[in-house]
Amino acid sequence: MSESSRVDIAVVGGGLVGTPVAIMLARLGWSVALLEQHNKQTSNNNGANAQGRGKGFTALSAATVDALQTHQLWDKASVDACAIRQVHVSHKGYFGSTVIDSESYSLQALGQVVDNAAFLASFETALQSSSVIRFDGASVNQVHYHQDVADVHYQRDNQSRSLQCRLVIAVDGVSSSLREAAGITTRHTDYDQVGVLGVVKLSQAHEEVAYERFTPSGPLALLPRPNNQASFVYCIGPDQREAMAAMNHVDFLAELQRAFGYRLGQFLSVGPRFFTPLVRIEATRQVGPRLLLMGNAMRLLHPVAGQGYNLAVRDVVGLLNTLKDTQSDPGDANALSAFAQSRQADHKAVVRMTDALARTFRGSAAPIAHLRALGLLGLDRIPVLKKQFARHSMGHR
């Protein structure tokens, strides 16, 4: 490959969104370059980083699994996955709850839970066998956008190189340098919460049930994993972070048990814990001249209900549908604008839902807590509302 090359589409950033979108686009017949800042060998030796490669797990909706199956990207990923047959939503200290069962919707599963690092690794064979031109260890310095093309300038192997394309897809993370360089601003919403992530060993079989438990400090989600384990995301107040980080495993397990209860028996052990501030960061627009934002470069959501990655995959599917009808220029301004407009309703609905759950199901004031409990109880008793909530959760819109 020469230092100056030309492709139809340059995907900047790999990870859980950039890698599959590059593969899918190449399979549509577009020439695609994937520029990843991390070095493949280093990544394989040292594990995955936090930008879509890292610590943590992802709950894939049924619609996301369907999309991956359609594009022959699910078989290898399914080896490590654990199915979600049922979702149990409850409010700590109150009777209100709702249960969503896959059998009620004639589905084998409502979704799947995957380890991020294993999930990303599952794409490797498809990537290697595809026509995607892969540049590992490529750091993009700047992009010059012209009427017909974009020039991507990057550093690789201590050399300055350039790549010409007709569309740049930025999936370079929540702190996207391409988004900033294009002058696309962001809106920030601080939920005044911290997420604690980890894995617990259970004394009781989880039976492939996922739990969303609303506590005074915020949501607590437990997702089923193989070998009778569960990954968790526990949302706490910033004032609790220091004390919780200082806890030994025994004390932390006791705290987690107190917040969740004993629906899964006793928590036996816990692995490493990771802490992250919970915010929503949204780009004010998704497209620019020959530029498209996807994944966390476009939007970072609160983890409640696990909608962020699934929304990004629906963006990928929408893009593929748009480009099927664009035979000559993937960066055509009208096509990109039409794509962005077609995705706005889904974006707004998911943001409203996650924002409402993050804000509403928090705090311990008795009157508000009773109303929340009644809301969950009503959701379980009114089929139309329950079905709508379930369809959101499964990614079927």
pLDDT of residue 355: 87
pLDDT of residue 384: 44
pLDDT of residue 346: 93
The two tokens of residue 377 are 């109880």
pLDDT of residue 357: 78
pLDDT category, 70, cuts 50, 70, 90?
very high
pLDDT exceeds 70 at position 139: yes
- Please state, in angstroms and rounded to a whole number, the distance separating the CA atoms of residues 356 and 359: 5
The two tokens of residue 321 are 């549908």
Per-residue H/E/C for 213-268: EEECCEEEEEEEECCCEEEEEEEECHHHHHHHHHCCHHHHHHHHHHHHCCCCCCEE
Task: Kindly report the CATH number that applies to the domain delimited by 77-114+195-278+360-394.
Answer: 3.30.9.10
Partners of 353 in the β-ladder:
none
- Strand (E) or helix (H) holding 10: strand 9-12
Task: Kindly report the CATH number that applies to the domain delimited by 4-56+117-187+280-357.
Answer: 3.50.50.60
pLDDT of residue 389: 52
Q: What confidence tens digit (pLDDT) does each residue in 377-397 have?
A: 443 444 544 455 555 555 555
The two tokens of residue 88 are 């149990």
Mean pLDDT of 362-371: 41
CA 233 to chain centre: 14
Give the domain ranges of the chain: 4-56+117-187+280-357, 77-114+195-278+360-394
Amino acid at 277: P
Q: What confidence tens digit (pLDDT) does each residue in 199-228 have?
A: 999 999 999 999 988 888 888 999 999 999
Minimum mean pLDDT range among 132-136, 248-252, 363-367 = 363-367
pLDDT of residue 359: 77
Mean pLDDT of 40-44: 49
What proportion of the chain, given as a percentage, has pLDDT over 70? 84
pLDDT category, 54, cuts 50, 70, 90?
very low
Backbone phi and psi for residue 213, each to the nearest 5 degrees, phi listed first? -115, 120
- Please state, in angstroms and rounded to a whole number, the distance separating the CA atoms of residues 214 and 362: 7
pLDDT category, 146, cuts 50, 70, 90?
very high
The two tokens of residue 76 are 């290898």
pLDDT of residue 53: 38
pLDDT exceeds 80 at position 370: no
Sign of torsion over alpha carbons 337, 338, 341, 345: negative
CA distances from 247 to 169, 242, 261 (A): 42, 9, 19
pLDDT category, 111, cuts 50, 70, 90?
very high
> Taking the chain, what is the end-to-end CA distance rounded to the nearest angstrom?
42
pLDDT of residue 311: 95
pLDDT exceeds 60 at position 14: yes
Q: Which residue has the tokens 């991390």?
A: 38
Do residues 223 and 57 make contact, with C-beta atoms less than 8 angstroms apart? yes
Sheet holding 159-165, edge to edge: 4-6, 159-165, 150-156, 139-145
Do residues 13 and 34 make contact, with C-beta atoms less than 8 angstroms apart? no
What average pLDDT does the structure give for the chain? 86
Q: Which residue has the tokens 């009114």?
A: 382
CB-hemisphere CA count at 13 Å for 77? Answer: 29
Higher pLDDT, 298 or 382: 298
Mean pLDDT of 169-177: 97
- Please state, in angstroms and rounded to a whole number, the distance separating the CA atoms of residues 54 and 21: 19
pLDDT category, 51, cuts 50, 70, 90?
very low
The two tokens of residue 197 are 């992530």
pLDDT of residue 55: 61
